[in-house]
Amino acid sequence: MIGWGGNNGGTVGDGTIVMRCSPVLVTSGRGVLANSNIFMIGAGYMSMHILGENGVIVSWGYNVDWQLGDGTSGTAGVTSGASAEYKTTGVQVVNTLMAGKSITKMSPGMYMTFVLLSDSTMLMWGYVYFIDS
């Protein structure tokens, strides 16, 4: 996979926060997805998410509101040299509610991500600013 752009928060996925005016190899998530093809790509607001055919989601970028899905927010697990709210290398989404199920759809939003599981369960992580009840 290749990426390019402003790279705010490391969204290009090459492990840096340097603007990329031409395509570069995306290295985020390569270890976790080494034996799997990419099934789906999704972009949130300053975050990227890829779903491998093995059912693993890897996310990187802006993480102030838990939108990367690894259970952290803000300064936890940041890459050296990156701003405290960014993760420039991929983190694996882990949730016990997904155990034994496959992800059939993924939809990142501005500060959250939704997934639909094979048993029709919908999960969401991140922060929802506006809810009309």
Average pLDDT (27-32) is 76
pLDDT of amino acid 21: 96
Q: Which two tokens stand for residue 125?
A: 């992580």
Mean pLDDT of the chain: 83
Residue 71 CB contacts under 8 Å (≥ 6 apart), including other chains: 94
Instruction: Give the pLDDT of residue 131.
Output: 58
Distances (CA, A) of 115 to 50, 92, 112: 12, 14, 10
| Six-digit token string for 94 | 């882990």
pTM: 0.81
